[in-house]
Amino acid sequence: MNVAIKERYLFSKEIAKKAGEAALNFYLNRDKLEIECKKGEQQDLVSIADKTVENIIKEALKERFPDDGFLGEESGADHLEQQFCWVVDPIDGTSPFLYGLHAWCISIAVLYKQEIVSGVVFDVQHNELFHAMKGQGAFLNDKPISTASAVSLKEGLMGLGVSHRVHPSTFTPIMHQILLDGGMFIRNGSGALMLAYVAAGRLIGYFEPHINAWDTFAAILLINEAGGKTNNFMENDGLLKGNYILATSSEELFNTLSHMRDSFS
């Protein structure tokens, strides 16, 4: 089965770059894009760029792996009962993308029997391809990466994310406590990219009270392969309903933040 997984892993990297070319072209011509709000949410935006890039990926997968399942942010679920399933966010960080900021990426994960076995996060703007195959380590382009050595909040930057799907009370107490404990944080608008930064040792952790599977799955594998720790996102039907995400560089830091989250839940 490793051969089948590796085939999909290598193809993930290939199609991410191809889709990245299309995404970059849209980005450079974003003033011509029509922008819509999802489900009436003013801060949840989508454009033809998201839909077209996902379609490029989906059509390529249909041709190469016609029997595989698919879950995409824009087109939804298709044959999730299959042993192999692709989980795709064509442009994670749509708001930064549309506003001319650089914090956006393409995220492609592969599941085998409900386990993440391949993950690719492509930062198109900076030509940074974060990638991992289960059991083989994590990489940034051709260089192996590992999480930071931090065991406390004072030893680096946390990444934080939040959306209007959840009440501010699920987020602000944790942000407040991080600051009280001497920590500091950033939010750039792309959960997948900030999670990839945890894998690469740029951030010491990431927390978001609710996030979708397509934003997280590729980076979850990156972090675990890079030596970090994440919560079990699959719990409570995380694949379809989303879940909270907590990812850290170390077990000690994970325990600190997990206890903090539990205190405010």
- Domain containing residue 80: CATH number: 3.30.540.10
Do 132 and 172 share a domain, yes or no? Answer: no
Q: Are 212 and 73 contacting, i.e. CB atoms less than 8 angstroms apart?
A: yes
Q: Which of 122, 145, 168 is the last residue of a domain?
A: 145
The count of domains in the chain is 2
**Closest by CA position to 91, among listed 26, 162, 31, 34:** 26
Residue where a domain stops, chosen among 145, 180, 210: 145
- In this structure, the answer to whether residues 121 and 223 fall within a common structural domain is no
> What pLDDT, on a 0 to 100 scale, did the predictor assign at position 56?
97
Q: For residue 23, what are its two tokens?
A: 């995404």
Same domain, 170 and 230: yes
Do 171 and 141 belong to one domain?
Answer: no
Q: Which residue ranges in the chain fall short of pLDDT 50? A: 40-43
Task: Spell out a b/e string for 223-260, using b for 16 or more CB atoms within 10 Å of the CB, else e.
Answer: bbbbbbbbbebbeeebbeebbbbbbbbbeebbebbeeb
Same domain, 74 and 123: yes
| pLDDT given for residue 39 in this prediction | 54
Looking at the fold, whether 171 and 257 belong to one and the same domain comes out as yes
Same domain, 7 and 111: yes
**Which CATH number goes with the domain that contains 193?**
3.40.190.80
Question: Do 128 and 247 belong together in one domain?
Answer: no
126, 145, 164: which is the final residue of a domain?
145
Asked if 118 and 13 sit in the same domain, the reply is yes
Confidence at residue 32, expressed as pLDDT on a 0 to 100 scale: 83
Same domain, 252 and 204: yes
Find the helix or strand (DSSP H, E) in which 209 lies. Answer: strand 205-211
Backbone angles phi, psi at 123, to 5 degrees: -85, 95
Q: Bridge-partner residues for 140, per DSSP?
A: 130, 143
Alpha helices in 29-115 (DSSP H): 48-64, 94-99
CB atoms inside a 10 Å sphere around CB 26: 19
Q: Which domain holds residue 59?
A: 2-145
pLDDT tens readout for residues 85-140? 999 999 999 989 999 999 999 999 999 999 999 999 999 999 999 999 999 999 99
In whole angstroms, give the CA distance from residue 89 to residue 52: 12
235 phi and psi angles, rounded to 5 deg: -60, 145
Q: Based on the domain organization, do 186 and 257 belong to the same domain?
A: yes
Q: Do 83 and 171 share a structural domain?
A: no
